[in-house]
Amino acid sequence: MHALRPGIYCIAAGGLDISPTMIGLIDCNNFFVSCERVFHPRLIGRPVVVMSNGDGCAVAMSNEAKALGITRGVPIYQIRDIIRRHNVITVHGDHRLYGDLSARVMSTIEELVPDIEIYSVDECFIHFPPGTIEQTEQLAREIVKRVRRNVGIPTSLGIAPTKTLAKIAASFAKKYPAYRAVCVMDTDEKRRKALALTDIRSVWGIGRRLTPRLQQVGIERAIDLADFSESQVTTLLNVTGRRTWLELNGHPCIERETEPEHKQICSSRSFTPALETIEQLHEAVSSFITIASRKLRRQHSCARGVTVFLRTNHFRTDQPQYNRSTFVTLEEATADLMTLTKAAISGIDAIFRRGYMYRKIGVIITDIIPDSAAQPSLFTSPEDRERRKRLMRLLDTLNANPRTPDSLKVATCPLRQPPAPAPSATKPAISLFLSCRNLSAPD
């Protein structure tokens, strides 16, 4: 082993022969900014700030912007001088794009390691198969390489025996270039030296609320907490804090989080500028239904109804106000995209009124039940129902594939062509469109 930074070591030819069950945490670097750079290479190397939906504050920054002192959550008006002085590029956040690229990142990881646990839009835990440390590190580097090649997103990957230690290792992989994006914490010596360099407030599970209490008893670094006795920790912290203490000492105790089944699924957005034509509203609700129905199918459920709502900007007292919603009951519970889109469009047609500027539009899929509990309609043939299910499986498979991202959609979705992707990203040759009105599913 050879030292790269004081107290932190990187895997070399030595180390453990056989690893325990190792957990990885892969983190997309400056994810929102990296997504923008995939489609706008001119942003590479420039200070970039991604703004919130209303352009009110900074939600993500490039490393160049962070070096100027710009922090997450700061109101844009407070940094106008910095933006002008340093030619900082501000970008309107496109969370639909970020969600799509996140799905591509996760599917690329799953091609190499099927056992993953998605933690957030830009992070996931990886449960590596048993093997030598060298094999685990080699696989980790292949994951980082493939995500960068297939999706264009740079990542950092930390590997350790517990989730809490893996997050610390990932922070070192991101902070120190000498790790080449992968940091492996496989010995107790590495664990202790990493904890000695980690501020207690940055430890997963501690946060701002517990930090002052720990600092009152002299805990400033993660190693200080790890060296406390069990009786001291029990007196000082709650059950969650004790789990963090165990994890810092190399004992995995944070169980796998299973995604809860949603009782209702909402997809909505505030528009600037506001929408005013029925065609614009059709495009909006079609996009929202596409997102919501994908979540519905992912949890193996179906729905018996769709709520559609719209409203004007109640802060604009100089404009006429309108706020309506409607519930559309389906003939049978379904997760079929075309059926749900048709229902949402009929709902928006029923409540739309001309002469208003619509600020917020959304859909809510309700009355959700498991697939196995769905009662089929007498007016739908079993053959047609099975064809629709096969079509939805094909749609989800194609749209989740990094080589054919979002290539299949309903015809009422907006026909926007994204900017040319980076050379490493594979662009589908053609986009196919499904009509939710007259299309019968293919055999």
Using the predicted structure, report yes or no on whether residue 76 has a pLDDT greater than 70: yes
Averaged pLDDT of the chain: 84
Give me the mean pLDDT over the 339-361 stretch: 94
| Strongest mean pLDDT among 103-117, 177-191, 385-399 | 177-191
Using the predicted structure, report yes or no on whether residue 312 has a pLDDT greater than 50: yes
C-beta neighbour count of 180 within 10 angstroms: 13
* 265/368 Cα distance (integer angstroms): 9
Paired with 93 in beta bridges are: none
Give me the mean pLDDT over the 165-169 stretch: 97
Q: What would the pLDDT profile of 27-59 be if each residue is shown by its tens digit?
A: 999 999 999 999 999 999 999 999 987 778 999
Using the predicted structure, report yes or no on whether residue 409 has a pLDDT greater than 80: no
* Reported confidence tier of residue 402, pLDDT bands at 50, 70, 90: low
Using the predicted structure, report yes or no on whether residue 144 has a pLDDT greater than 90: yes
Predicted local confidence at residue 53, as pLDDT: 72
The CA–CA distances, whole Å, from 73 to 51, 70, 203 equal 9, 9, 21
**Length of the chain in residues, anyone?**
443
Using the predicted structure, report yes or no on whether residue 198 has a pLDDT greater than 70: yes
Using the predicted structure, report yes or no on whether residue 10 has a pLDDT greater than 60: no
Q: Which two structure tokens, joined as six digits, stand for 272? A: 């600037």
* 90/252 Cα distance (integer angstroms): 41
Task: Provide the pairing of β-strand 89-92 with 48-51.
Answer: parallel
Predicted local confidence at residue 422, as pLDDT: 40
* Reported confidence tier of residue 20, pLDDT bands at 50, 70, 90: low
Predicted local confidence at residue 384, as pLDDT: 79
* 95/50 Cα distance (integer angstroms): 11
Predicted local confidence at residue 227, as pLDDT: 95
Q: Which of 374, 299, 364 is nearest to 328 (CA)?
A: 364
- Residues whose CB is less than 8 angstroms from the CB of residue 362 and which lie 6 or more positions away in sequence, other chains included: 266, 267, 268, 269, 288, 308, 309, 310
* 28/15 Cα distance (integer angstroms): 27
Using the predicted structure, report yes or no on whether residue 70 has a pLDDT greater than 70: yes
User: What is the percentage of the chain residues whose pLDDT exceeds 90?
Assistant: 52
The reply to whether the predicted model has a pTM over 0.75 is: no
Continuous H helices in 125-277: 133-150, 163-175, 188-196, 207-216, 222-226, 230-236, 239-248
- Residues whose CB is less than 8 angstroms from the CB of residue 167 and which lie 6 or more positions away in sequence, other chains included: 25, 158, 204
Using the predicted structure, report yes or no on whether residue 432 has a pLDDT greater than 60: no
